[in-house]
Amino acid sequence: MSSYEITRRPRRLRQNPAMRELVAETRLAPSDLILPLFAADGIDARREIPSMPGQYQHTLDSLKAIGHEALEAGVRCVDLFGVPLEEDKDAEGSVGWAEDGVLNRALREMRAEFGNDLLIMADTCLDEFTDHGHCGAVGTDRFGNEVVLNDDTLELYARMAVAQAEAGAHIVSPSGMMDGQVAVIRDALDAAGHRDVAIMAYSAKYASAFFGPFRDAVGSSLTGDRRTYQQDPANARESLLEAQLDIEEGADLVMVKPALPYLDILSQIAEISPVPVAAYQVSGEYAMLQAAGRNGWIDLDATMMESLLSIKRAGADQILTYFAIDAARALHD
């Protein structure tokens, strides 16, 4: 057997599981994970989302049940989205701040069930609730083109955030990519006496094709696209500006969405951010791994964990993922 005088042998630190764990540079924990959940109106049993195997539109009872599963696995935060009845949608998305709207009912039920043991985050956006599917109020510009009205939408976000805080949300998460949304929401929350409610800003949210299955999950009414307000996938520096503005406006956490196609963006924001940085492993990322795993083309459990570890390694402090419970259980095992 040949032997050479090699001083540096990096393989010394890879030779067995104990050694690899001892020197691991990145560690993933169940408490890093946030589970997105869908509360749907008008159903009497949870309903699987066809394009997202293993994920469901929930009743209030099944929502609480999955919350207990998450908590038992060590996941300490869930992010709630509302799926209203089609007839409850309107141009402004007013069911989004209605006291009896599906999302606010779900927030109240979950906060009553879990108190402070499980953090309840609310999606603060109108796309699920508008009959046109856009993230805000729609009007026309001076040339007669249909546009999403930035400043008119801010007033609606403020109403929605206050309603969510009053329903029990620990964290509100404005995801509409309107300029100034964090400042307006922070002012509204503080004025209403909700100074302790945190804001997770969707700071770098791209106009991504990876969102496709999510639109099935929430029954989106969107036709067209959101490229006039979500970011162009070609741009990187713009994300740093968006994150800096959100931090200056009072964001307690910032987020990059999607995660895997934008790890470079995540890494850059993590380097400059004085607040925690989250990343969202979105529906399309989840669906691709599930499809390949169920077809036997990849090892689903191994690629699930590798993908999450890569997001953590790139700089995410928190990861929103539909794999949260499965990954947390795998980490325990």
What's the pLDDT tens digit per position in 126-158?
999 998 888 888 888 888 888 889 999 999 999
Query: Average pLDDT, whole number, for the chain?
Result: 95
Pair of tokens at residue 292: 């390949």
Cα separation of 275 and 318, whole Å?
Answer: 12
What local confidence, expressed as pLDDT, does residue 146 receive?
A: 84
Cα separation of 60 and 226, whole Å?
Answer: 30
Cα separation of 317 and 315, whole Å?
Answer: 6
Going by the DSSP 8-state scheme, the letter that residue 206 receives in this structure is B
What local confidence, expressed as pLDDT, does residue 1 receive?
A: 85
Which one is predicted more confidently, 228 or 269? 269
Render pLDDT for 156-167 as a digit per residue (tens, 0 to 9): 999 999 999 999
Residue of 300, 256, 301, 247 whose CA lies nearest to 281: 256
Q: What number of residues does the chain have?
A: 333
What local confidence, expressed as pLDDT, does residue 218 receive?
A: 72
How do the domains of the chain map onto residue ranges?
27-254
Render pLDDT for 74-132 as a digit per residue (tens, 0 to 9): 999 999 999 999 999 999 999 999 999 999 999 999 999 999 999 999 999 999 999 88
Pick the CATH number of 27-254 from 3.20.20.70, 3.90.550.10, 3.40.228.10, 3.30.365.10: 3.20.20.70
Render pLDDT for 260-318 as a digit per residue (tens, 0 to 9): 999 999 999 999 999 999 999 999 999 999 999 999 999 999 999 999 999 999 999 99
Cα separation of 191 and 197, whole Å?
Answer: 12
What local confidence, expressed as pLDDT, does residue 136 receive?
A: 87
Cα separation of 327 and 321, whole Å?
Answer: 9
Residue 221 pLDDT greater than 70, yes or no = no
Pair of tokens at residue 147: 């546009």
Task: Say how far residue 278 (Cα) sits from the centre of its chain.
Answer: 8
Number of C-beta neighbours around residue 262 at 10 A: 26
Nearest 5 degrees, angle CA 49-CA 290-CA 60?
Answer: 30
Residues serving a catalytic function are: 205, 257
Residues of the chain with pLDDT > 70, as a percent, come to: 98
What local confidence, expressed as pLDDT, does residue 333 receive?
A: 84
